[in-house]
Amino acid sequence: MNLILMGAPGAGKGTQSAKISEKYQIPAIATGDILRAERKAGTELGKEAQAYIEAGKLVPDAVVIGIIKKYMVENNCENGFILDGFPRSIPQAEALEAMGIKIDAVLSIEVPDQKIVDRMSGRRVCSCGASYHVVYNPPVKADVCDKCGEALYIRADDAAETVKNRLKTFHNETEPLKEFYSKKGLLISVEGQEEVADTTALVFKALSAVEA
């Protein structure tokens, strides 16, 4: 299954993509995680991306398209994949089409803006890619990753002011993709729930319809 996961920043894409990845045994490719890893490694690409990320803007299309091309080749995508956070603009979606990659479904997790702001303030992440929320999805031990035992941290771009800009960017540049994919009959919308498990149940239900 070749899947695109869409949603506002903090809608729970990363959390749900981990669940889907486990169930369907397909890799998740998260452009945000890749960009942060590049930053941590101190690469040119990472440095270039950082300014955009901290301003709540999109990293230029050419940069992320280049990343996706590379990762699609490196990861074993034969049984499918989940794209988490890509495409995020119409030009990125067109580039994906130009790569000749067939998409089976585009899952959009819907969460109202007020809830996003609330969620971001409690988000804690790990460099392994795991993501938590102090109230809605807490780790077993506070501030420690369940998966790898490393210390959790707050993302720099989760600052309230940056979150506002990220939401603006989402509505202006990413949300038009809903119509783009809806016209192709690929869009499935799922309402994000308070509990992670409840959203996962809705996501799995929606995906079982795709398989059939």
CB of 82 to Zn ion, least distance (A): 19
- Residue 44 neighbours by CB under 8 Å, 6+ apart: none
Q: Are 83 and 111 in contact (CB under 8 A)?
A: no
The reply on whether position 4 binds ligand ADP by CB under 6 A is no
> Which CB, 96 or 196, lies closer to Zn ion?
196
> Which CB, 18 or 212, lies closer to ligand ADP?
18
The reply on whether position 129 binds ligand ADP by CB under 6 A is no
The reply on whether position 35 binds Zn ion by CB under 5 A is no
Burial of 101 (0-12, 13-18, 19+ CB in 10 A): middle
> Which CB, 10 or 192, lies closer to ligand ADP?
10
The reply on whether position 128 binds Zn ion by CB under 5 A is yes
Smallest CA-to-CA distance from 84 within 64, 66, 100, 70 is with: 64
Contact pattern from residue 166 through residue 205 relative to ligand ADP, giving x for each residue in contact according to CB under 6 A and a dash for the rest = x---------------------------------------
The reply on whether position 130 binds Zn ion by CB under 5 A is yes
One residue of 13, 19, 119, 124 binding ligand ADP per CB under 6 A? 13
Smallest CA-to-CA distance from 123 within 136, 140, 112 is with: 136
One residue of 29, 53, 177, 188 binding ligand ADP per CB under 6 A? 53
- Token pair of 55, please? 């301003």
Neighbours of 103 (CB within 10 A): 18
